[in-house]
Every structure is written in structure tokens, then in C-alpha cells.
Structure 1
Amino acid sequence: MIADQLESLGMKGRDFLGLADYTPDEIRKLIDLGIELKNLNKAGKAYRPLEGKTLGMIFEKSSTRTRVSFEVGMYQLGGHALFLSRNDLQIGRGEIISDTAGVLSRYLDGIMIRTFAHQIILDLAEHSSVPVINALTDYSHPCQALADYMTVLEHKGKLAGLKIAFIGDGNNMAHSLMIGGAKLGLHVAIASPDGYLPDAGVQQDTRAIAAETGGSLLVTEDAREAIADADIVYTDVWASMGFEEEQKIREKAFANYQVNEELAKLAKPDYVFLHCLPAHRGEEVSAGVIDSKHSIIFDEAENRLHAQKAIMAALM
């Protein structure tokens, strides 16, 4: 049945660079596929559509969840994952990305990359003849957002019409939640201090998408306004990877943006709390929120595995 589902998706050979490239129906089908693959795994039933296939995993940014979930995911799907740090590749010594893409395409069935500049992944995809998966850039984090909305669906039973409030840096995570939420018909609220608001172009794209799906976008500097009556509350670290030297500056800028018990009272009584992790308790979120009954962060982290399995199975 899943084999027929994969065939009907028609995604084989495509890249997964951002949720903007996929229709609302395609995103929902990937989420549903992730849930099916998760259920098979929980039932102890093997499903290995990627037998004999290899995924190259390029890491210019380190990670716990991304590496483990992709590596385990490929194993569960019957394939093999190959870890490649920047020091393992000639791009670390100046090889142009088009040459790297051309060579790796002759060896691999798919390429996953976790990097800094978004242009790197665009160039890689342009010159690669195998699917390229965005495992994070400074601009977007679509794999995480797909897992997030999969988790919300499992807990809330629906997506369209829900309100998600993201409190903190208008970063790559905010961007993917905005685009994904709009595609799926959610009402997205972002609260960030001046100077840390989401990219203006992403805001424009999100509003255009939401106008067609029944969703909406609110961008504000007021955390209380954003979180009011939210079904989902989300935050991320104040200083993402690559911005550690700004930690003290950001601590001052985000001092009024901690998701704590007092702020969370403004959300709906049955709100769920999400965080892409790693988390800094006492900074962007209080222990009383992240360790409360509302928190579903470990379900969310687990779903990185299954959502990414859906992506790899569909594309490869």
C-alpha cells in the first residue's frame, strides 16, 4: 500500500529545499506518509524501499538530531548513510560546489546538506543529478518544520485553523514554520524584537500563501499579542549556530521574550509547547514550561526521524 502511495506522490527525483516548493496537498501527504512509516516501525514491521541506496550527508554545521535521525532513517528504509564533514570534502579546500555536486551525483542516490548560506544548497541542487535535501541553512529548516506539523497533527487531530505562536528570533526556524503553517492553513503569529524580525520576503510570501489557504500571518514585537489564544507555542534559542559571539547582545534584546509560565497563561489552556532543540532552560524558555504537561518536545524530536524517512522515501 505504501509503495502505491509513494508512486502516487510523484516526487521521485525532486529536491527538498524548502516547503515553498511543495503544494499544501504534497506537504500533507508527506506528513501522512511519515505517520504511516512511524506506525509500521512501532509495529515492528520492516519496510525497506531504499535497499541498496546511499545518502551522502554533508555537515558544515554540527548536529545531534539531524545526523542521528537521517542515519537511522536510512538504515530503517534499507539504505546506507555516509557522514561527510567539511573536513572530509574538497569543498573545505576550495573545490567549487558544482564540481562536488557532479562527482557526488555519480556515487550517491541522494545528498543531504546542513550548512550556513542558503545559496550553497541552491548551487548544490542546481548541479546535482540526484535529490538534494535541506537539513538546515541560515535561511530555512524545512525538515524540522515538517516534523513539527506532523507532531501537532498527532496531538491535535487537525492543522488548518489552529494558531501557532513563535516567540523569539525571526530565524530559519521561524521562516519554515511561517511558510509551512500558511501552506497548511494555520494562523501563524511571530513575536520578535526590532532588528530580529523574520525576512521581509518570507513575510510577503507567507501572506500570499495564507490568502489562498485560509491561514494568516501576524508579525509583532509584542510577545503577549502573539501568544494570545495560541494552540501551539514555539520557541528557539536566542543565538543560533554561527551567532554565538552575539550571545550577550541577544540576551539583552530578547529579555522580554522568554516563554515562561506567566506568558503561557495567555495561550489556550490545552496548548502544546514545541522547541526544535537544543534548549537553554532559563533563557528562551523556563523549565516550568518545557518540562510541563504541555511540552511535546520529545515526540517532536522523534518525528524528525519519521518525517525525514517520508522525504527520503518519496524523493529517492
Structure 2
Amino acid sequence: MKEVDFSKDDLEVLIDLADDLKTKEKHGIPQRFMSGKHIALIFEKQSTRTRSAFTVAATKLGANVEYLNKNDIQLGSKESVEDTAKVLGRMFDGIAYRGSEQSTVEALGEYSDIPVWNALTDDWHPTQMLADFLTIKENFGTYEGKTITFVGDGRNNVAHSLLVTGAMLGANVHILAPESLQPALSVQKMAYDIAEQSGSKLLVTADKAEGMYGSDAVYTDVWVSMGEEDAFEERFNLLSEYQVNQELMDMSGNPDAIFLHCLPAIHDTATDVGKLAYEKFGVNGMEVTDDVFRSPASKVFDQAENRMHTIKALLAVTCGNVH
């Protein structure tokens, strides 16, 4: 249900299998590991990449997909999570859940008696991590010993997951964020405890020079997450100096550093949020500038594609017939 529920070996099996399945797909080799299976997607939060990745991955593997949004079912309102899980567990072969509460996805897993995949909660984003570390491996040949720097709101699910997953996989992780937006202390403790065993070097800092130095991958996310729209101006004022621009990228001291973003990104004025940022603050981008987003260093669309390949590996291993 979250990264620490798995071992390093578990995560590496999934990343390596995704790499293999991606190669096979490029050569047109079919991978029907889930023929006749049925999976449910319970999405209480909107999604582009996660919904598409689960749907396409499952379909390519031969499974049928049923999408259930918050208006389709009474999860936790007219019917308890436990009762819903028991019903769906008798009809489906697996459930993907995307919503706010970590307790909901864990209850679905406890009571459904079928595989349940965490497609995002407010606390963790494990399927994003699989795609991220596959992308890093594709660019550098390994993620072990590489330094990944997350810049921005360090309290969000991506920053939390990155800190813990990096520690598990032997990568070095820097979280560069203002002090008021740094990861929860409980998550930091979890990550540092893991790093003591894996040898990862972790750093949480508000100092840009310290945080950026030696970065192999620079990672950011939107400054205002779903449900936080009222904090738009406050968040801009807190994070404007942590925008990923070319000056910040250069502070890594690494000309081969790549740029990552889990998307969507506010990098120009082609979106309603981008237009609002321009009207309110006179800026053409928020967490990242357009030149960095479109630069050769940017691997964001490889990263997005890898959501599908890594989710395919996850589904195949946990719910398919892989020989």
C-alpha cells in the first residue's frame, strides 16, 4: 500500500520487469498475462496519467477495466469501505484506489482479499516512484549512488515517497524546501532509519546551494495540490525562490543533470492556472520555467510513459500469470 510495505528486492524486480516489458512492447511482443481478469479503478481524485496508465497497461495485458469515480459508488458515505471491499473482492481480480485517505486503500486491501494498488493518496505515491526510478536508471544506467533533489513543497506525497524510496534503493535524496514546507518528521525518521542500512545519503534543507550541489536529477511538482487552491498566493510567496530555472539547474554543478516532473506542470500560460499566475504575479511559469521544461535535460515525457510500463509490471506480478 506504500513503499515500505515492500522490500528493496520487490521494488527492483518491478523496475527491472518494467524495463523488460517496455523493450518487448517496442518489438511488438504480446504480453497477455492477465487474460480474462477484471480490475476496478476507484478514483476519488482526477487523473490523466495514472488513470490512462492503469487502463492501457491492464488492457495490453488482456484484462478488462471498470472505472468507478466518487459519484459511481458510495464508498464511506452510504456504504462502509469494509463492505464495499468485500463486495468488489467477489467480483474483481484487483482494485486500484486513488484518493485522499491512506486508511481507505489499506482497508480495501485488508477486506477485499484481492490485490489492491495505491494509485495515490495524500501521504504516498508509490506507482509514481516506480516510473521515476526506471527513468533515472534509463538515463544513468543505475539509480544507486545517484543524487535526486526534490525542489518545492517537501510535505507532499511525491516528496515523501521519493525520500523513502530513494533510501530503500540506495539513491541519495535531497529535499530542498522552505522550513515550513519540509517533509513530516515521521517520514524523515523513517527514511533516515532506512538509509542507515542502505548507505543512502539524505539531506533536508532550505539552502539552495547546499541542496542543489551534486544533483543528478532535479525533481519538482506543482506548488498547489488538489484541494489547496485557496492557498495559491501564500504558496507562491513561500516557493517563488525555489522555482526550477536554468540558474538553479546550474547550481548542481552537473552538466548532465536531468529534470523530472510528475506532471501536470505549470510552465507557461497555456493553462487556466498558468494564466492566473501571470495575472496575479506576472510570471510565465510557476514551479519550473518553460525553457527548462522543454530543454534536452527534461525527461518528463519519458517519465510519464514509464507510468504505463511500470504499472504493467506491477499488475503482471501481483495479479497476472507471469512465468
- Give the TM-score taking structure 2 as reference length: 0.91
Runs of 4 or more, structure 1, over 4 Å off, are: none
Report if the CA contact (8 A) 1:57-1:111 is conserved.
yes
Partner of 1:291: 294
Partner of 2:274: none
- Say which SS state the counterpart of residue 153 (structure 1) adopts: helix
Report if the CA contact (8 A) 2:166-2:173 is conserved.
yes
Partner of 1:259: 244
Q: 1:132: how far off?
A: 0.6
Structure 1 distance, partners of 2:29, 2:107, is 38
Report if the CA contact (8 A) 2:153-2:159 is conserved.
yes
Greater Cα shift, 222-231 or 277-286: 222-231
What whole-Å deviation, never above 9, does each CA across 1:81-133 have from its counterpart, x for those lacking one? Answer: 11000100022643110001000000000000100121111222121200110
- Structure 2 counterpart of 1:111, from 95, 106, 115: 95
* Paired letter, 2:266: H
Report if the CA contact (8 A) 1:47-1:77 is conserved.
yes
Structure 1 distance, partners of 2:66, 2:152, is 34
* Paired letter, 1:299: D
CA RMSD of aligned residues (A): 1.0
1:15-54 maps to which residues of 2 (within 5 A)? 17-54=1-38
The gaps in structure 1 that reach 5 residues or longer are: 1-16
- Structure 1 counterpart of 2:190, from 205, 208, 212: 205
- Structure 2 counterpart of 1:102, from 86, 107, 121: 86
Structure 2 distance, partners of 1:244, 1:197, is 19
* Paired letter, 1:247: F
Structure 1 distance, partners of 2:317, 2:29, is 19
**Alignment: residue pair count:** 300
* Paired letter, 1:191: L
Partner of 2:258: 272
- Calculate percent identity across the aligned residue pairs: 45
Greater Cα shift, 105-114 or 186-195: 186-195
Q: 1:210: how far off?
A: 1.0
The gaps in structure 2 that reach 5 residues or longer are: 268-284
- Structure 2 counterpart of 1:166, from 133, 150, 163: 150
- Say which SS state the counterpart of residue 180 (structure 2) adopts: coil
- Give the TM-score taking structure 1 as reference length: 0.93
Greater Cα shift, 29-38 or 123-132: 123-132
Structure 2 distance, partners of 1:93, 1:208, is 38
Greater Cα shift, 220-229 or 198-207: 220-229
- Say which SS state the counterpart of residue 283 (structure 1) adopts: coil
What whole-Å deviation, never above 9, does each CA across 1:150-178 have from its counterpart, x for those lacking one? Answer: 01101110111100000011110001111
Structure 2 distance, partners of 1:244, 1:113, is 23
* Paired letter, 1:143: T
Q: 1:223: how far off?
A: 2.6
Partner of 1:191: 176
| 1:130 lines up with 2:114 in the alignment | yes
User: Taking structure 1 as reference, are residues 119 and 223 closer, same or farther at Cα in structure 2, changes over 3 Å only?
Assistant: farther
Report if the CA contact (8 A) 1:86-1:92 is conserved.
no
Report if the CA contact (8 A) 1:160-1:185 is conserved.
yes
